[in-house]
Structure 1
């Protein structure tokens, strides 16, 4: 006989939102672009925590773009809280990928143009 306790996953799979923005200047963008990204990221992070939908997990600059990473139990709820702040950043082209589960080739995702 199987025990139901051991048939269920240990925890809910973590979803994520990854927002990417094209930057100007060198590979890491201009200093004023980086400053604006840091400021908006702090605001988004505070909103995400206040809404209880996850956390902003950091950023990555390079290759003429910046990526902002966030994770939580529901990618749609996470993006809903993040979207106003992400749209404040003027850098284009830009998009966000909502990933519904742990990283992997078969994980469902949606792309939203910003």
Structure 2
């Protein structure tokens, strides 16, 4: 006998905004640089939450770079909310990777 199962609908793929900032040394940057990244992360998290477009999911430091991660249903909408703060972080070179769909499509935006 064949049995039908109620399977949940597959979730829409989560999209991502991943920001990369070059720091002043080849390790973790200065204390002031780390604080500036933490401040920007808090500001972006508040803006993203208020707009209801996703979540800022943390950071990573190492190898002379700071990386900020954010996820949501629409990378473009997420980036639009985060963009003013992303540009305000003074460390360069810097760029953002927008991952769209199930990760097959990536685009880069230089800051």
**CA apart distance, 1:109:** 1.0
Alignment correspondent of 2:98: 98
Runs of 4+ off more than 3 Å:
none
The residue matched to 1:25 in structure 2 has which SS? Answer: coil
Alignment correspondent of 2:17: 17
Instruction: Please say which structure displays the higher CA radius of gyration.
Output: 2
Preserved contact between residue 16 and residue 101 of structure 1 (Cα < 8 Å): no
Does 2:109 align with 1:108?
no
1:73-107: CA deviation from partner (whole Å, max 9, x where unpaired): 0000000000100111000000000001344xxx1
Unaligned 5+ residue runs, structure 1?
Answer: none
Unaligned 5+ residue runs, structure 2?
Answer: none
TM-score of the two chains, using structure 2 as the length reference: 0.90
Counterparts of 1:21 and 1:87, CA distance in 2? 11
Alignment correspondent of 1:35: 35
The residue matched to 2:71 in structure 1 has which SS? Answer: strand
Aligned residues: 107
RMSD of aligned residue pairs (Cα, Å):
1.6
The residue matched to 2:50 in structure 1 has which SS? Answer: helix
Counterparts of 1:57 and 1:38, CA distance in 2? 12
Counterparts of 2:84 and 2:34, CA distance in 1? 19
Counterparts of 1:73 and 1:94, CA distance in 2? 24
Alignment correspondent of 1:64: 64
Counterparts of 2:31 and 2:101, CA distance in 1? 34
